[in-house]
Structure 1
Amino acid sequence: MNPARRCSALLNQLCVSSRGGPAARRQFQPGGVSAPAGPRYCHPGVGGVGGGGVGGTKPQVKPSGAPPTGATPVCPMGSNGSSSRLFGTLAQSLSSAPLAQPDLYSDQSPDQGPDREGLAAADPDQLLRECEEALQRRPARPHRDLVYPSGPAARRHDHDPSIRVMQWNILAQALGEGKDGFIRCPLDALNWQERKYLILEEILTYRPDILCLQEVDHYYDTFQPIMASLGYHSSFLAKPWSPCLDVERNNGPDGCALFYRRSRFSLLATAHLRLSAMMLPTNQVAIVQTLRCRATGRRLCVAVTHLKARSGWERLRSAQGADLLQNLRTITSRGGEAGQSAFPLIVCGDFNAEPSEDVYRRFSSSPLGLDSAYKLLSSDGQTEPAYTTWKIRPSGESCSTLDYIWYSHDALSVETLLDLPTEEQIGPDRLPSYHYPSDHLSLLCDVSFREQPHRLM
């Protein structure tokens, strides 16, 4: 089967895999007004886009688990979207042997884990077109520009290709439908039948080299097989006591997932961490992978995490952050001076902490030399955005900056950032919505290795 027909089979199964079939795809705005139809926004140059992506150039820029048993149902929700026919021909490859979940909270050998190699390659352009076709009744995603934080003149053209990094809390399906209480978001806007297309469309539009996700509860049946078919290696780590398990007909626990493009990187080591606070294990986790860039031969350490949520847990978040930093110092200091990183580090996550919290200060003052990429959007380069999440719950409206991409500022430079949508683009009912699948906005930046001192001699 050629890649185009295979993509069609894969996404046709996605289309019918949850609550009803194509006839069920009626879209409504709050108040019963039909959602507008028409062409969807697609970032300029998405065909073959990406930092080291699949064929083509980046968009133009402007200056500036397997389900657990024994879960106790508490909250009802809609169908979780599983289907014996899910993904068509791809499902046949997966059914030959089950995906084995790796040992939790321990180091893995390189290129081991729940990946399935040997799957036929999917055409990302075809997948993107079919996502857009499936979503044509929904309003367009907010337009977001890629911007140069230091102006276009600062971009260098003679160095190795930049690395595109995406960070995103995608909103666990069980939580969105069953527990989170987004009172201004119609339940129909959250059904997995189409919401998964919105998530995939966002990823396929920007085609990151490294993708860090939180609140992933459809890893094994959706993200792992699709991303593997697109050439990504992945690793998943569930929360020990995921709140998704309190939701009736859940799809298993949510957790963190880390994907990297095999054509850009080889895997040197993986650590699955269960974060501790005051020497006691907590319910939050992190994945840390050491990669080698195939273009440069240089090493890069990438981590993804999701810290404890809600007000009143600031001290726990701080302790979790301290534990993660200590693990990162151990992992990255091998071969370097005491307390110093021997190779660059990128840490992505939903920290559930605003910049005023202690865990933020821990990261910004760490001996690892980390800085927050999205501060570069501000005029002074020192201020975080006004929000990375904006939602309305029964308790009120919440507009906060909780998500970050931290990077080693002495070893890496940030070339471009994906700007954040305006309040008008987000809309009065906030997030999630018919045009955006999560209550958190995706963050994305292109980074490049700074020249090593010996290369300048």
Structure 2
Amino acid sequence: MKFGKAVARSWSVASVSRAPATFPFTFDQFIRKEDSKFQELKKEINNKLSFTSKPISQAQLSADPIQLPSEPSQDEARNLLYRLREEALSSIVLDGVGPISVKKVDDYSEMERMGSFTSAPVKASGDVQDADVEFSNITSLTDLLERCRHYTVHLPPPINREYTHLDNSFQHTPDTSDVKVDEKNKIRILQWNHLSQTLGTKNDNFVVCPPEALDWTSRRWRLLEEIIRYQPDVICLQEVDHFDFLNRGLKTIGYSGKFIPKPDSPCIYLQGNNGPDGCAIFVKDSKFKILSDSHRILEVWRVQSNQVAVCLELLDVETNQELVVATTHLKARQGALLSTLRNEQGKDLLDWLHTTARGRPVLLSGDFNAPESEPIYTSVCEHDIGLASTYRFKDLGMEEPYTTWKIRETGEQKYILDYIFHSKSGLKPVGVLEMPKDHEVGENKFPSLAFPSDHLSLVADFHYV
């Protein structure tokens, strides 16, 4: 999806009711007024971006949320989300014949059936592209790692990353990928937007990424290797569009998983897709018993959006502690309006999760598509559910903190977008896996032959307290 595209059009929201009399203009007039600011921001950013330019800082890309004159009505919110969906779909070229267009919908109940208001036929495929893979004779982690390395032997070795103990000394040690974590009181979580294969090859425009890095026949094994090499107890993933492969592979070494697709995934409009992308959580059976699972389509002003959250209520079989784990992937793209929508999605998620948790410790992770300067970050940390960010990037001494680093046709992008949040009461973070140092990344950034996604995996350890 092209950077800045969301701010390139005029927001002319048609046929909406007027705002309350206390405000001097209607909702659609307000959005049109805000559009002039978007146009200026777009021009400024486009002037700065080039393949050889220094990355724009997160502070430059962050925007204050739009202060709406009042909470919009459901019809107004539906109309706005409809226009955003039109923007997203218009950037997708279907089978090389041109961008998707969106029908005008007068009956908003039709819009709630996500995907039913596009003029292009939905081309959702089943999750069948990994039917050629057999996981026979896999009985241990060592067996599965050897299988992964067999299919990636022609690629560079995985990037070695440092592990930091979160004590007063912030001691840096080599990564613990080959060390078994068996302390009963410890929980290890891996958070990762592992990059949808369909979006990565058909829509994301990684202009300097070697094609071999996105070859699915080997990439799927590198994805699996990255997940299992850290031996996590909990695995939270976004942009999952090959759940069958991951589920069958992880099942052989004792994991159970839950997957929820986006209601109207952009993957299904792209040639050669393997079905919709979504969010997934896996847990180690020897560590946790799943008490309950649930999911939510995140709402913006009481209207369902196209983003989801997955939640598992767990019982730690070693300590008899209960734990709630959730993951999500919030709305993408930059701009003040999108920042506001992300914040609304996040608040809906937090309220739902707070009710679900009922005072139990919580781990919330995901791709929030927002730097720490955006309001959604503050909303998470100040909500009554009582969460804090696990990664203390400033204390890690990184040159310029990031969780995603890539080069698209619009330029180089290096941001913090991914997070692990934990309950301040009940859980104590004791260590995190760092991002690679700048000199270790390579000139093409990510994805690369050494790393299969444009987002880095986050790994954190916790103790119950």
Asked if these proteins are the same fold (TM beyond 0.5), I'd say: yes
Identify the residue that residue 189 of structure 1 maps to in structure 2: 213
Query: 1:159–1:249: structure 2 CA closer, same or farther, 3 Å change rule?
Result: closer
Identify the residue that residue 331 of structure 1 maps to in structure 2: 356
Write the letter of the residue equivalent to 2:94.
Answer: V
Task: Report the alpha carbon displacement of residue 84 of structure 1 after superposing the two structures with TM.
Answer: 7.6
* Residues 49-448 of structure 1: pairs in structure 2 closer than 5 A: 74-75=94-95, 82=128, 86-88=132-134, 122-150=139-167, 160-220=184-244, 222-312=245-335, 313-333=338-358, 342-375=359-392, 377-379=393-395, 386-448=401-463
Task: Report the alpha carbon displacement of residue 82 of structure 1 after superposing the two structures with TM.
Answer: 4.7
Q: Any idea what the Cα deviations from partners look like across 1:272-301, whole Å, max 9, x if unmatched?
A: 110000000000000011101111111100
Runs of 4+, deviation exceeding 4 Å: 79-85, 151-154
Distance 1:265 1:85 in 2: 29
Distance 2:462 2:131 in 1: 39
Query: 1:84–1:169: structure 2 CA closer, same or farther, 3 Å change rule?
Result: closer
Decide whether the 8 Å contact of 2:129 with 2:274 is kept in 1.
Answer: no
Query: 1:84–1:330: structure 2 CA closer, same or farther, 3 Å change rule?
Result: closer
Decide whether the 8 Å contact of 2:135 with 2:248 is kept in 1.
Answer: no
Query: 1:153–1:281: structure 2 CA closer, same or farther, 3 Å change rule?
Result: closer
Identify the residue that residue 67 of structure 2 maps to in structure 1: none
Decide whether the 8 Å contact of 1:355 with 1:384 is kept in 2.
Answer: no
Extract unaligned runs of 5+ from structure 1. Answer: 1-71, 91-119, 334-341, 451-457
Query: 1:245–1:153: structure 2 CA closer, same or farther, 3 Å change rule?
Result: closer
Residue 330 of structure 1 aligns to a residue whose secondary structure is: helix
Task: Report the alpha carbon displacement of residue 130 of structure 1 after superposing the two structures with TM.
Answer: 2.3
Write the letter of the residue equivalent to 2:224.
Answer: L
Extract unaligned runs of 5+ from structure 2. Answer: 1-91, 97-124, 172-180
Identify the residue that residue 52 of structure 2 maps to in structure 1: none
Task: Report the alpha carbon displacement of residue 87 of structure 1 after superposing the two structures with TM.
Answer: 2.7
Decide whether the 8 Å contact of 2:428 with 2:463 is kept in 1.
Answer: yes
Decide whether the 8 Å contact of 2:399 with 2:438 is kept in 1.
Answer: no
Distance 1:409 1:189 in 2: 39
Distance 1:413 1:89 in 2: 37
Write the letter of the residue equivalent to 1:209.
Answer: D
Query: 1:138–1:192: structure 2 CA closer, same or farther, 3 Å change rule?
Result: same
Task: Report the alpha carbon displacement of residue 160 of structure 1 after superposing the two structures with TM.
Answer: 3.6
Query: 1:152–1:226: structure 2 CA closer, same or farther, 3 Å change rule?
Result: farther
Residue 379 of structure 1 aligns to a residue whose secondary structure is: helix
Query: 1:196–1:248: structure 2 CA closer, same or farther, 3 Å change rule?
Result: same
Figure out how many residues of one structure are paired with residues of the other and give that number: 335
Decide whether the 8 Å contact of 2:207 with 2:407 is kept in 1.
Answer: yes
Distance 2:342 2:379 in 1: 11
Decide whether the 8 Å contact of 1:164 with 1:444 is kept in 2.
Answer: yes
Aligned-CA RMSD value: 2.6
Distance 2:399 2:154 in 1: 35
Write the letter of the residue equivalent to 2:364.
Answer: V
Residue 229 of structure 2 aligns to a residue whose secondary structure is: helix
Task: Report the alpha carbon displacement of residue 89 of structure 1 after superposing the two structures with TM.
Answer: 6.2
Distance 1:427 1:210 in 2: 30
Q: Any idea what the Cα deviations from partners look like across 1:293-332, whole Å, max 9, x if unmatched?
A: 1111111000010000001211110000000000011111
Task: Report the alpha carbon displacement of residue 245 of structure 1 after superposing the two structures with TM.
Answer: 1.1
Decide whether the 8 Å contact of 2:404 with 2:414 is kept in 1.
Answer: yes
Task: Report the alpha carbon displacement of residue 392 of structure 1 after superposing the two structures with TM.
Answer: 0.6
Distance 2:221 2:247 in 1: 15
Write the letter of the residue equivalent to 2:362.
Answer: L
Query: 1:398–1:73: structure 2 CA closer, same or farther, 3 Å change rule?
Result: closer
Q: Any idea what the Cα deviations from partners look like across 1:341-376, whole Å, max 9, x if unmatched?
A: x2100001000000000100000111111111111x
Residue 206 of structure 1 aligns to a residue whose secondary structure is: coil
Distance 1:396 1:414 in 2: 35
Residue 250 of structure 2 aligns to a residue whose secondary structure is: helix
Q: Any idea what the Cα deviations from partners look like across 1:114-159, whole Å, max 9, x if unmatched?
A: xxxxxx86321011122123212211222102220215899xx998
Distance 2:457 2:378 in 1: 22
Write the letter of the residue equivalent to 2:205.
Answer: G
Task: Report the alpha carbon displacement of residue 385 of structure 1 after superposing the two structures with TM.
Answer: 6.8
Residue 415 of structure 1 aligns to a residue whose secondary structure is: strand
Decide whether the 8 Å contact of 1:145 with 1:418 is kept in 2.
Answer: yes
Decide whether the 8 Å contact of 2:126 with 2:275 is kept in 1.
Answer: no
Decide whether the 8 Å contact of 2:127 with 2:275 is kept in 1.
Answer: no
Write the letter of the residue equivalent to 1:440.
Answer: H
Query: 1:287–1:384: structure 2 CA closer, same or farther, 3 Å change rule?
Result: farther
